Each structure stands twice: as C-alpha cells, then as structure tokens.
C-alpha cells in the first residue's frame, strides 16, 4: 500500500504545476471573488475541464489487480480500469468556482472518460460531475473564504474518492476485479487526492496572498509618494518644481535615475548618468515623443530604444509616464533602470498609478487656482461695477463645465479673463480700437450663449473697414448686455439680438436691436439722460454709456432709444471718427 501511495503521489505531482497555472488564468480573480455571470461560469468550466482531461492522462491503469504505470496514458483496454487524476482538478473547480463550475468541468471530463472507455468507464463518467457538485456545495457550506483553507480542503477531499470506490464496485462488470482494485488502491487514492487538494489550495492561497501583499506595498508606496508630492505641486507648477519632484521620486523608488520633461525639453534629471544627461536638452527618444503624442505609458526594454549616444551610459531601460493637466498632456516622468529584468508588471503599474495620482493632483491644484483667479476677478469686477448676477452665473457655468467638459471650461475661463481684462481697462483707457470692443462683446456673448445655447440667437453686421477706428471703451458691450438682461427678460420664445456696426460719413454708427418687451413708453424720453432705480432695471447702463460719450466728444455723439413696431427695442449711438488706422499699444 505504501508503494502504491508513493506512485500515486509521483503521478499527481503534475497537478501542482496545474495549480500554479491556475493563478495565471485571465479572470482568475473573478472566480475567487464569486463575481461571475453565466459566460464566466462556462469559461472557467471549460478551462478546468481541459485541465481535468490532462489530469486523466497522468493517472494509472489497473489490469486484473496489477498496477500499470505509463508516462502518458493513451489507450485503455476493455478489461482495464483507468484511475485518472482529473477528479482532483474537478474538485478544485468546485471549491474555487462553486457547484456550477464544478459540475460543468466534471461533465467535460466525464464525457471524455466515457470516450476513452475501459472496464469502469461508467463509474469514471458519473464520478467526475458528482465530485464537482459535492465539493462545490460542501465548500460553500463550510467556508466563505476566497480560497478554502487547506485543512478544510483535506477534509472535503476525502469524500469523492470514497464515493468513487463505491461506484467502481457497483458498475464494474467483474465484481472480483472491483474488490481487488478497491483493496489495492482505495486507501492510497483517498490519501493522495485529499492531500493533493490541500496542497493545491495552499499553493493558490500563498500565491494570491503574495501578489496581494506586493500590490498593497506598492499601493502604500504610491500613496506615500503622492502625499509627499502635495506640498511640491501645491506651491508652483511642475515646471518650476521639476527638480524637487525628481529628487523625491529618486529617493522613494529603487531606480537608476529619474527625469522630468515638458513637451519640448528636459526640466530635471537626478541619478546615474547625470554627467551626460543634461537639463535643458531637447527630447530625443522616440518613445518619449510617442508618450507625449498619444498620452499612453511607454516602456523601453532595450538600451537602443533610449537613443543615448554615450557608450558607457549605465541606463538600460526606462518607463515613460505621461503627466496630465485637465486631460492635456503637459510633460513626462521618465523612470530609468539598470537592467530590463527590473521592469516587472508591478513596476509598470506603479509607474502608471503614480502618473495618474500626480496628474490628478496637478489638475486639482489647477482647479483651485482657477477658483482663486475667479474670486480675484470677482473682486475686481465688482470694483468696476460689473453686474454681480452675470459674475456669479459665469462662475457657476465654469464650475459646472469643469465636471463634464474640461476643454469647454478652459475655453470659457479664457473668454471670461478676456472679458475681465476689457472691463478693468475701462478706467485706464479712454479710447480703444473698435475691433477690441467687438472682441469684448464676443467674449461676453460666448459666455452667455454657453449658458443659454438654445434660447439666444445673435446676428451681426459689422463693416470690416472700420475695425481700426478708435471708440470709447465699454460702449458696445453694455448695450448688448442691457438688451439681453432686460430687453429679453420676459421673452418666452427664442431671443434675438442684432448688432449692426458701420460707417456713416465721418461717424461710426452702432445699433443693437432685440425682439424683447421694449422700453416703458413713459421712460423713452429720458432713457440715457438719467439713471433709474432697480425697479425700472434698464437705465443705468445706457446712462453710463451716454455720459462717457458726452465726456469724450461733448455734443458730437448721439444716443437714440426707441421701440420697434414689431416688438422689441433699438438703441443706436453715433460716434465721430477722430482717429483712424492709428497704431495702438495694448496694455
């Protein structure tokens, strides 16, 4: 019996290799997490079934009480009984995947055992699906662990071989042969199957725990680096703090060197090779340029891919990690190694995780800086008597876009800054080119139409020949804002604003129309001549524009306000041309 047990242990050794292979199967973790749909159940049943077929061919043959050991079993005679080890694989399938995976893999092995034949083919065919069901059900009953404990697997692994021996006694044609098989191989089979099941579960648990422990350590290291990088990235941009960031990464990571670059040149380099890898040199590596262009992490496994011309350079391989700011690639972190064997999957994933964390930190601080700029802009605009409602609505718009559309948020921020700059220049310059005033209007309209894309239509008729004529700042924009804020306030249909700019003799004519409610008839004679209270709403802006025109041109300018016959209102001003095609210095 001892000799048979030793032989069975030798034959079952290949299943230990199968156990290691199991940990490499794609989707293996979903099996351990019990997070499976029917397609994954079928997939794992097929994988374990194929491995069970291989296990069947590593078994032994009983021929009239004689144990036959061959290197690879292919043919089974009618009077011979195949004692295969596919049942061990099927039990593993049941323990890890539950009764459905165990049953599926058992059916595959069972059908194959029927195809092979032999004196106990029916017992072999019936035992494999039963083993999958039994171990699947008992495994779920005894344990909620991802991988069952080896001692529990040892206990569960005893039952299927005992049942198998019983089926051989029942279904084998020659009862005397069945008794001899059970007496000779029964106990050794129970021992080897149970111990093999325990060893395999122990191997899977050990491999899984090791990988999870390594992943936890790398995650902890990435978070530690991210925490230390916070003060570096918070105070200034990556460009200004590239050296400090490179030194931090070099101290924390067991690597040969760290380089940080923007989209054009190397910003910092720390580590081996500092004598010839110079700060300020342009990006030469093809993979670095690919990483910048595609935004995808790149790995150079060969020294030739580094494209370093220095013959004694100790750097052999590298990982190029793109760094983002609001979804836009702004630079690279290059992590260099001395040997290609040092770049494992865990190093690649750590580099990828660091790139993501650092990019998120940069984007977060950029968002905070945007908010600070917006707050500062709010103060300045309030000082310039900007409509506070427009200010807050713009802040809310940019804040909302930052969540869903970073590109549009940046665009709105740029347009808002242009709008703000024009407002801040109101007091500093009395005259500006007409094209600057139109740009001021366009910036305002871009913001407003972004808030109401389907509720506002703007029509423009602008004579391109008068764009260089100088006019008072904040002349056209307040008329457009007044038309939108007050003229279209009560309009239920689509609001329309028409802007017409042209030349009439030696003057510039500007008219803004809308299809809104129009001016109160009783106020028409005095609109633009005196400011109104908030109750009337649409007189202060027009009054300020008219007063500025009078202050610059005395009586040479004119403002007219009227209601249109078809509904809506019109405000037109005439500005005398004093300076045309003058060179103008922008602030």
* Rounded CA separation 34/22 (Å): 16
Query: Residue 578 corresponds to which tokens in the numbers above?
Result: 């004093």
Q: Is the pLDDT of residue 76 over 50?
A: yes
pLDDT at 297: 92
Model confidence over 402-436: pLDDT tens digits?
877 878 888 888 888 888 777 766 555 667 888 98
Q: Name the helix (H) or strand (E) containing 481.
A: helix 476-482
Least confident of 65-74, 251-260, 471-480: 65-74
Q: Is the pLDDT of residue 553 over 70?
A: yes
Bridge-based pairing of strands 80-83 and 66-68 is unpaired
User: Is residue 578 within 8 Å of residue 470, measured between CB atoms?
Assistant: yes
* Rounded CA separation 353/365 (Å): 18
* Rounded CA separation 554/550 (Å): 4
Structural domains of the chain ordered from first start: 2-211 (1.10.1760), 234-364 (3.30.450.40), 454-587 (3.30.565.10)
pTM beyond 0.85: the answer is: no
Query: Residue 267 corresponds to which tokens in the numbers above?
Result: 């910003």
If you average pLDDT over every residue of the chain, what do you get? 79
**Sign, Cα dihedral of 234, 235, 239, 243:** negative
Residues in a beta bridge with 470: 433
Mean pLDDT, residues 38-43 taken together: 81
pLDDT at 16: 66
Is residue 571 very low, low, confident or very high in pLDDT (cuts 50, 70, 90)? very high
Mean pLDDT, residues 156-181 taken together: 82
Q: What percent of the chain has pLDDT above 70?
A: 79
pLDDT at 151: 83
Q: Is the pLDDT of residue 89 over 80?
A: yes
Is residue 585 very low, low, confident or very high in pLDDT (cuts 50, 70, 90)? very low
Mean pLDDT, residues 205-230 taken together: 70
User: Is residue 355 within 8 Å of residue 322, measured between CB atoms?
Assistant: yes
Q: Whose CA is closest to 514, among 469, 480, 548?
A: 480
Least confident of 123-137, 385-399, 477-491: 385-399
Mean pLDDT, residues 525-533 taken together: 74
Q: Is the pLDDT of residue 371 over 70?
A: no
Is residue 376 very low, low, confident or very high in pLDDT (cuts 50, 70, 90)? very low
Model confidence over 255-292: pLDDT tens digits?
899 999 988 899 999 999 888 888 888 888 889 999 99
Least confident of 7-21, 120-134, 230-244, 312-326: 7-21
User: Is residue 511 within 8 Å of residue 570, measured between CB atoms?
Assistant: yes
Is residue 24 very low, low, confident or very high in pLDDT (cuts 50, 70, 90)? low
Q: Is the pLDDT of residue 499 over 90?
A: yes
pLDDT at 269: 93
Least confident of 41-45, 109-113, 279-283, 558-562: 41-45
Q: Is the pLDDT of residue 232 over 80?
A: no
Model confidence over 300-327: pLDDT tens digits?
988 888 888 888 888 889 999 998 887 7
Of 147 and 561, which is predicted with more confidence?
Answer: 561
* Rounded CA separation 179/177 (Å): 5
pLDDT at 382: 40
* Rounded CA separation 471/462 (Å): 15
Is residue 535 very low, low, confident or very high in pLDDT (cuts 50, 70, 90)? very low
């Amino acid at each position: 019996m001892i000799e048979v047990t030793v032989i069975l242990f030798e034959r079952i050794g290949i299943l230990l290799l199968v156990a290691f292979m199991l940990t490499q199967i794609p989707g293996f973790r979903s099996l351990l997490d019990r997070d499976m749909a029917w397609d994954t159940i079928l997939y794992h049943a097929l994988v374990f079934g194929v491995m069970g077929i291989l296990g069947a061919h590593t078994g032994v043959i009983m021929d009239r009480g004689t144990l036959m050991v061959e290197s690879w079993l292919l043919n089974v005679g009618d009077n011979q009984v195949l004692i295969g080890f596919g049942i061990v694989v099927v039990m593993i399938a049941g323990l890890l995947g539950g009764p459905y995976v165990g049953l599926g893999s058992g059916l595959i092995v069972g059908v194959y055992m029927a195809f092979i034949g032999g004196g106990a083919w029916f017992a072999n065919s019936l035992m494999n699906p039963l083993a999958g069901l039994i171990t699947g059900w008992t495994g779920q009953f005894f344990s909620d662990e991802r991988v069952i404990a080896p001692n529990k697997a040892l206990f569960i692994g005893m039952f299927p071989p005992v049942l198998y021996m019983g089926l051989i006694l029942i279904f084998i044609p020659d009862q005397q042969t069945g008794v001899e098989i059970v007496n000779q191989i029964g106990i050794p089979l129970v021992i080897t199957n149970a111990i093999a099941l325990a060893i395999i579960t122990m191997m899977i648990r050990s491999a899984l725990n090791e990988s999870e422990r390594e992943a936890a350590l790398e995650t902890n290291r990435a978070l530690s680096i991210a925490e230390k990088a916070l003060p570096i990235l918070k105070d200034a941009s990556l460009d200004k703090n590239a050296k400090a960031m490179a030194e931090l990464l070099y101290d924390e990571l067991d690597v040969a060197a760290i380089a940080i670059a923007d989209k054009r040149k190397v910003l910092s380099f720390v580590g081996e090779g500092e004598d010839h890898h110079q700060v300020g040199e342009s990006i030469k590596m093809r993979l670095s340029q690919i990483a910048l262009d595609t935004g995808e992490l790149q790995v150079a496994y060969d020294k030739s891919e580094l494209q370093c011309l220095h013959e004694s350079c100790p750097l052999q391989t590298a990982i190029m990690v793109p760094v983002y700011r609001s979804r836009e690639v702004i630079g690279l972190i290059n992590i260099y190694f001395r040997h290609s064997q040092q770049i494992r999957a865990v190093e690649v994933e750590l580099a990828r995780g660091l790139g993501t964390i650092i990019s998120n930190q940069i984007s977060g601080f950029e968002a905070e800086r945007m908010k600070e700029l917006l707050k500062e802009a709010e103060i300045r605009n309030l000082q310039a008597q900007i409509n506070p409602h427009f200010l807050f609505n713009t802040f809310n718009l940019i804040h909302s876009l930052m969540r869903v559309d970073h590109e549009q948020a940046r665009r709105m921020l740029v347009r808002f800054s242009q709008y703000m700059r024009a407002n801040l220049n109101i007091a500093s310059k009395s005259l500006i080119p007409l094209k600057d005033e139109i740009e001021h209007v366009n910036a305002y309209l871009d913001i407003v139409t972004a808030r109401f894309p389907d509720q506002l239509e703007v029509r423009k008729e602008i004579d391109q020949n008068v764009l260089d004529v100088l006019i008072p700042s904040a002349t056209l924009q307040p008329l457009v804002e007044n038309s939108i804020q007050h003229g279209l306030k009560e309009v239920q249909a689509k609001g329309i604003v028409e802007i017409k700019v042209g030349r009439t003799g030696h003057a510039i004519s500007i008219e803004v129309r809308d299809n809104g409610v129009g001016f109160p008839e009783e106020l028409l004679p005095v609109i633009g001549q005196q400011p109104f209270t908030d109750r009337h709403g649409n007189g202060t802006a027009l009054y300020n524009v008219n007063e500025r025109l009078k202050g610059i041109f005395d009586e040479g300018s004119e403002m007219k306000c009227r209601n249109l016959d078809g509904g809506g209102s019109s405000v037109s001003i005439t500005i005398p041309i004093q300076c045309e095609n003058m060179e103008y210095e922008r602030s």
